[in-house]
């Protein structure tokens, strides 16, 4: 039998029998991705754009119902943009800047994020996860139509894996029964409860946070004038619980997120009448339809290692965080961004296997940063001791009167991209430049006339030169580096100088295919830059 | 880097002490605790210097370096 574990919002890749199922010997694929969630599909987009044959196996036939993620951060959208599907997300998404914080009955303060100018993408958008996933799948189909060697098979469930030194053997269950294939590389994007992790017996450790959240997505009826703001209540007087979050999504849908404690009767709580009772107490006389609801608990955990030989883990399978701060899908997208080009170079024989270990180093760094941040938010929202409650309440009380206490209020620190400080791929910083573009950083965007800098970076190694000379391109041991020459002199926004030069007169940046800075110096120094390319590709320590 | 001041530094220390106690007068235990917590946060913000704050935390925990 082949039953769905969840309901679909959109059926996108119905089961079709593949010739692999009738092959006399197992067919070998260069890359198999396990799981067609947001992270698995993004992996296929990254590899597909590089022309690497990639097969995605998903045990369902499309996008799951229910908006889990709603908040997608700038870096995640920039990665999606590199894959060619960021724009529809931005168009559909809701951009917000104002937030209000309440404690019990009182509004304690209001903030405006005052977005930084000069980026193609805002700090984040609110967008239902099913939309996010469908835009990725639209792009997937578009790339297929253009001849990219990517494929997805619905109702193809991986039931067993056998790992060898240079390949993996997979047993796949379908409505027509089992078949076997082989993969040179396997990427596990099979979600938080990752069957792959289980099959291979890898640990997943960390803190289970003992609390449950009741999520209700509701559609307001009639002309309600709820503003596009993020409202967060600590200990709301209406409706029990530690916190409530109200946030707008596209299509006039609102997300209400009640933190309802650990000992709850799920079935009882999920009855529509009970959800409505909470909502009514909270929203007063507003009329609404229920779109989706669910109860979830969460954990802050990660695997010890995201790479095990020919097997990689990415997204929720590798790490899980609390939802405060919107870090789940956002960090998964950074995993893919990081792994894609490295695997591409190793498969093409242009970089040693050791480059792949840096995926582990860099993304564990990212996961730890996320876990730290979301644990801190969790501790602020649900203090674990009487003193910690007192301190939290004092911060809230002070923030109503004084500005200084407002930054201490932690209702979730929104995901910002990870800088790979200390990565073995970085070369020592040789420029007296801005902190935010030091080696390891993701390049910040800058407007270039009608265009943006980031659309000119990525996919290959780029040598960004600002007001200094360099060859148009050079090759180092199979890696081609192309120059992008810019000048800060006639930049009306002055942002290129602000973000890339600082006090320096000129600069040369070596930028990786994932738009992270590998090295920077004041001017072109061939020996140093060749060494930097070797270091950034795992050929030199 | 400057160090946490641990020798006398308040002019009119008796005055200050009396004012501190007086601020708590008439408060319940709970209110007093809350006031202390707010006071601590106000003062911490005034100090600002992260290193000094860490030194203050361990000084208050009576973790001296001797
Ligand atoms: C309530 C809630 C709110 C959230 N809010 C946010 C937010 O605002 N921002 C944010 O960034 N993140 C948020 N997240 C997290 C986000 O939803 C996840 O991080 C994201 O879905 C992870 O994507 P994934 O592709 O790694 O895993 P999943 O989306 O879980 O996908 C895994 C896929 O693998 C498939 N699969 C499983 N087993 C097999 C098998 N044996 N064979 C084949 N396929 C298999 C599954 O069917 C599924 O399609 C939220 C999560 C929740 C629960």
Q: Write the secondary structure of A98-141 as one string of H (helix), E (strand) and C (coil).
A: EEEEEECCEEEEEEECCCCCCCCCCCEEECCHHHHHHHHHHHHH
Taking a C-beta distance cutoff of 8 angstroms, is the pair A438, A517 a contact? yes
Interface residues of A toward B, Cβ cutoff 8 Å, are 390-391, 393-395, 397-398, 402, 404-405, 408
Distances (CA, A) of A174 to A5, A23, A179, A187: 15, 15, 8, 20
Residues facing residue A473 across a β-bridge: A482
Strand, coil or helix: A469: coil
- Give the closest residue (by CA) to ligand 1 atom 52: A68
Q: Which residues of A touch B34 (CB under 8 A)?
A: 390, 393-394, 397
Q: Which residues of B touch A383 (CB under 8 A)?
A: none
Of A135 and A66, the one with more pLDDT: A135
B8 Cα to chain A: minimum distance (Å): 28
Q: What percent of chain A has pLDDT over 90?
A: 74
Number of Cβ within 10 Å of residue B13's Cβ equals 10
pLDDT at A203 over 90: no
pLDDT band at A1 (very low <50, low <70, confident <90, very high): low
Give the pLDDT score at B64: 63
Cα separation, A387 vs B48, whole angstroms: 22
Residue in A390, A397, A405 closest to B33 by CB: A390
Q: What structural domains does chain A harbor?
A: 8-93+122-206+301-369 (3.50.50.60), 211-298 (3.30.70.2450), 435-536 (3.40.30.120)
A230 Cα to chain B: minimum distance (Å): 26
A128 touches ligand 1 (CB under 6 Å): no
Which segment of A213-217, A234-238, A384-388 scores lowest on mean pLDDT?
A234-238
Residue in A391, A402, A408 closest to B37 by CB: A391
Cα separation, A226 vs A220, whole angstroms: 9
Q: How many degrees, rounded to 5, is the angle at CA B26 between CA B21 and CA B28? A: 100
Query: A129 C-alpha to center of ligand 1: Å?
Result: 9
Of B27 and A540, the one with more pLDDT: B27
Distances (CA, A) of A494 to A122, A438, B20: 19, 19, 51
- pLDDT (tens digit per residue) in A257-295: 998 888 888 899 899 998 998 888 888 778 899 999 999
Name the residue among A183, A89, A98 with its Cα closest to residue A133.
Answer: A89
Cα separation, A13 vs A29, whole angstroms: 19
- Give the closest residue (by CA) to ligand 1 atom 7: A69
Phi, psi of B59 (to 5 degrees): -65, -45
Cα separation, A269 vs A390, whole angstroms: 30
Which segment of A37-51, A110-124, A139-153 scores lowest on mean pLDDT?
A110-124
Phi, psi of A475 (to 5 degrees): -120, 135
Question: Alpha helices of A221-353 — where are they, by DSSP H?
Answer: 266-269, 272-283, 328-347
Q: Which residues of B touch A393 (CB under 8 A)?
A: 34, 37
Q: How far is CA A230 from the centre of its chain?
A: 21
Residues facing residue A507 across a β-bridge: A466
Length of chain B as a residue count: 66
Of A325 and A90, the one with more pLDDT: A90
> Which is it for strands A461-466 and A479-486: parallel, antiparallel or unpaired?
parallel
A68 touches ligand 1 (CB under 6 Å): yes
Cα separation, A200 vs A286, whole angstroms: 50
pLDDT at A424 over 90: yes
Strand, coil or helix: A29: strand
Radius of gyration of chain A (CA): 24
A215 touches ligand 1 (CB under 6 Å): yes
Q: Write the secondary structure of A405-416 as one string of H (helix), E (strand) and C (coil).
A: HHHHCCCCCCCC
Taking a C-beta distance cutoff of 8 angstroms, is the pair A313, A33 a contact? no
Query: A190 C-alpha to center of ligand 1: Å?
Result: 8
pLDDT at A182 over 90: yes
What one-character-per-residue DSSP string does A31-92 give? Answer: EEEE--SHHHHHHHHHHHHTT--EEEE-SSSEEESS----EEEHHHHHHHHHTT-HHHHHHH
Give the pLDDT score at B66: 45
Mean pLDDT of A184-208: 93
- pLDDT (tens digit per residue) in A40-90: 999 999 999 999 999 999 999 999 987 789 999 999 999 999 999 999 999
Query: A315 C-alpha to center of ligand 1: Å?
Result: 8
Give the pLDDT score at B65: 55
Q: What percent of chain B has pLDDT over 70?
A: 94
Element (H, E) at A533: helix A526-536
Residue in B37, B42, B45 closest to A390 by CB: B37
- pLDDT (tens digit per residue) in A495-523: 999 999 999 999 999 999 999 999 999 99
- pLDDT (tens digit per residue) in A446-475: 999 999 999 999 999 999 999 999 999 999
Query: A183 C-alpha to center of ligand 1: Å?
Result: 23
* Most B CBs within 10 Å, among A404, A406, A407, to test the B interface: A404
> Which is it for strands A54-57 and A150-153: parallel, antiparallel or unpaired?
parallel
Q: What percent of chain A has pLDDT over 70?
A: 99
pLDDT, mean over chain A: 93
Of A65 and B60, the one with more pLDDT: B60
Q: Which residues of A touch B42 (CB under 8 A)?
A: 398, 402, 404
Taking a C-beta distance cutoff of 8 angstroms, is the pair A384, A391 a contact? no
Strand, coil or helix: A396: helix
Distances (CA, A) of B2 to A246, A418, B10, B54, B62: 45, 32, 18, 12, 20
Query: A444 C-alpha to center of ligand 1: Å?
Result: 27
Residue in B33, B34, B41 closest to A405 by CB: B41
Which segment of A145-159, A187-201, A365-379, A418-432 scores lowest on mean pLDDT?
A365-379
Number of Cβ within 10 Å of residue A222's Cβ equals 7
A291 touches ligand 1 (CB under 6 Å): no
Taking a C-beta distance cutoff of 8 angstroms, is the pair A191, A317 a contact? yes
Domain residue limits, chain B: 13-64
Q: Which two tokens stand for residue A281?
A: 């107490």
Cα separation, A334 vs A416, whole angstroms: 11
Taking a C-beta distance cutoff of 8 angstroms, is the pair B41, A399 a contact? no
Element (H, E) at A234: strand A229-234
Taking a C-beta distance cutoff of 8 angstroms, is the pair A504, A521 a contact? no
- pLDDT (tens digit per residue) in A521-538: 999 999 999 999 999 999
Taking a C-beta distance cutoff of 8 angstroms, is the pair A37, A192 a contact? no
Q: Which residues of A touch B41 (CB under 8 A)?
A: 391, 394-395, 398, 405, 408
Cα separation, A134 vs A130, whole angstroms: 6
Size of interface A-B (CB pairs under 8 A): 24
Contact assignment for B38 to A408 by CB distance below 8 Å = no
Q: Which residues of A touch B37 (CB under 8 A)?
A: 390-391, 393-394
Cα separation, B60 vs A82, whole angstroms: 52
Query: A68 C-alpha to center of ligand 1: Å?
Result: 8
């Amino acid at each position: 039998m082949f039953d769905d574990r969840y309901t679909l919002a959109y059926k996108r890749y119905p089961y079709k029998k593949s010739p692999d199922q009738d092959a006399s010997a197992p067919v070998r694929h260069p890359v198999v991705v396990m799981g067609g969630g947001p992270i698995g599909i993004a992996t296929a987009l990254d590899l597909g754009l590089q022309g690497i044959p990639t097969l995605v196996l998903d045990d369902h036939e499309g996008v799951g119902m229910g908006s889990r993620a709603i908040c997608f951060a700038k870096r995640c959208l920039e990665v999606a943009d590199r894959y060619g599907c960021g724009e529809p997300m931005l168009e559909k998404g809701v951009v917000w800047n104002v937030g209000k914080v309440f404690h019990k009955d009182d509004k304690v303060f209001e903030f405006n994020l005052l977005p930084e100018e000069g980026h193609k993408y805002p700090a984040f958008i609110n967008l239902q996860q099913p939309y996010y996933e469908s835009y990725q799948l639209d792009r997937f189909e578009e790339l297929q139509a253009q001849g990219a060697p990517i494929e997805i098979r619905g109702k193809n469930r991986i039931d067993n894996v056998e790992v060898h030194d240079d390949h993996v053997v997979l047993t796949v269950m379908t409505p027509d029964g089992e078949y076997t294939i082989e993969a040179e590389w396997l990427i596990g994007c099979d979600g938080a409860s990752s069957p792959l992790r289980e099959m291979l017996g890898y640990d997943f450790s960390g803190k289970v946070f003992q609390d449950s959240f009741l999520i209700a997505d509701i559609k307001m009826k009639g002309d309600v004038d709820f503003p596009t703001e993020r409202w967060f209540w600590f200990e709301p007087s209406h409706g029990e619980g530690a916190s409530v979050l109200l946030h707008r999504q596209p299509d006039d849908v609102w997300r209400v997120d009640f933190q309802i404690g650990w000992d709850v009767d799920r079935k009882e709580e999920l009855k529509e009448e009970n959800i409505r009772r909470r909502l009514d107490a909270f929203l007063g006389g507003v009329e609404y339809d229920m779109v989706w609801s669910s109860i979830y608990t969460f954990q802050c955990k990660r695997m010890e290692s995201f790479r095990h030989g020919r097997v990689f883990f990415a997204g929720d399978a590798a790490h899980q965080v609390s939802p405060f701060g919107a870090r789940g899908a956002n960090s998964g997208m950074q995993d893919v961004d990081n792994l894609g080009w490295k695997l591409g170079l190793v498969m093409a024989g242009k970089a040693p296997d050791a480059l792949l270990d840096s995926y582990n180093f860099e993304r564990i760094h990212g996961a730890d940063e996320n876990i730290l941040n979301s644990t801190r938010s969790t501790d602020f929202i649900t203090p674990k001791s009487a003193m910690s409650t007192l301190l939290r309440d004092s911060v809230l009380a002070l923030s109503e009167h004084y500005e200084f206490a407002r930054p201490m209020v932690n209702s979730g620190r929104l995901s910002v991209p990870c800088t790979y400080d200390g990565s073995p791929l970085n070369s020592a910083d040789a420029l007296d430049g801005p902190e935010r573009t030091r080696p390891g950083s993701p390049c910040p965007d800058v407007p270039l006339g009608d265009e943006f800098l980031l659309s000119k970076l990525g996919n290959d190694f780029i040598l960004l030169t600002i007001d200094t000379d360099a060859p148009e391109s050079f090759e180092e041991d199979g890696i081609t580096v192309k120059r992008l020459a810019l000048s800060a002199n006639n930049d009306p926004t002055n942002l290129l100088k602000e973000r890339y030069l600082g006090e320096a007169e000129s600069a040369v940046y070596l930028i990786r295919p994932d738009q992270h800075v590998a090295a920077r110096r004041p001017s072109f120094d061939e020996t140093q830059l060749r060494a930097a390319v070797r270091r950034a590709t795992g050929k030199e320590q | 880097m400057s160090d946490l001041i641990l020798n006398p530094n308040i002019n009119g220390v008796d005055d200050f002490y009396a004012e501190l106690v007086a601020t708590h007068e008439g408060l319940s235990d709970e209110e007093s605790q809350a006031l202390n917590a707010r006071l601590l946060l106000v003062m911490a913000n005034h100090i600002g210097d992260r290193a000094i704050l860490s030194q203050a935390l361990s000084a208050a925990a009576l973790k001296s370096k001797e």
